[in-house]
Amino acid sequence: MTEIIDGNAVAEDVRAEVSDAVDELESAGVTPTLATVLMSTDPASETYVSMKQDDCEEVGIDTVDVELDSDAPATELYDTIDDLNADDDVDGILVQMPVPDHVDEKRVLRSIDPEKDVDGLHPENIGRLVAGDARYKPCTPHGVQRLLAAADVDPEGRDAVVVGRSRLVGKPMANLLTQKAAGGNATVTVCHSRTADLAEKTRGADILVAAAGVPGMIDGSMIADGAVVVDVGINQVDADNEKGYELVGDVEFESAKEKASAITPVPGGVGPMTRAMLLHNTVTAASLRSGADVSL
């Protein structure tokens, strides 16, 4: 029987670990603090920020909520980041993406103090990740690693295929899976929009991570018997229901689960883990910045 990997349950375990670490920090006089910056009127972005703030409250992390007009000059966002960098009470900074078109997203990522970059996307932190000396692992790939571990899936010696090459998920995911470390040591193939005969590549995977942002692009015919399938995609598609839409992954779930030995659902798989690992990184940042050692 195919195992449905429960991201909500694993995320709850991570939150419990984070909560214990927050207690350790508070006993040392340190209160972890995450600043969230929203420069958008997109309802999904507003919801994501609200959920992240609720997550922080649940585990005892303080939050600073900054909302900027989406039509404001880009310099207003850059100045806000500078102010948060200089604020010693702030341990982590999260700028909710996407930002408006008139804002340079790369400049935003470069502007965040690497020690406060709890998304792990500053060039310095990406470089440290590639070098095998990560300060913070990017939240989604790190969450995928935790899901695999929870399902007793060891990538060592296995063939892994990552579909998608974004800097947020695909590239760091491939790097983590290939590193000489726990949760790595796989032989990794990265596929993308220019890959010839994608199905041939995905059928060769013992572990398949779908992170292309294309609804249902991978179905059961593209998956090897017994493969472990991790679906990172969260896509909104039209549906005949009260909301008028539903969330689906990059994997066509029903056909894929007939082939897979284990699979993550959408929703309820990788999504909760991304949020949980943000909490993990925020507490790690508070620990590193304060010099107070905690168990995480």
CA 182, CA 154: separation in Å to the nearest integer? 8
Reply yes or no on whether 52 is catalytic: yes
> Which of 96, 113, 145, 206 is flagged as catalytic?
96
SS3 65: strand
**Strands, E assignment, 116-234:** 159-163, 187-191, 207-210, 228-231
Reply yes or no on whether 53 is catalytic: no
112's tokens: 């965040």
> Which of 55, 91, 113, 119 is flagged as catalytic?
119
CA 184, CA 252: separation in Å to the nearest integer? 26
Reply yes or no on whether 145 is catalytic: no
Which pairs count as long-range contacts for 181-188, CB under 8 Å and 24+ apart, including other chains?
A: 181/132, 183/145, 183/148, 183/149, 183/155, 184/155, 184/156, 185/155, 185/156, 185/157, 186/155, 186/156, 186/157, 186/158, 186/159, 186/160, 187/157, 187/158, 187/159, 187/160, 188/160, 188/161, 188/162
Query: What residues act catalytically?
Result: 52, 96, 119
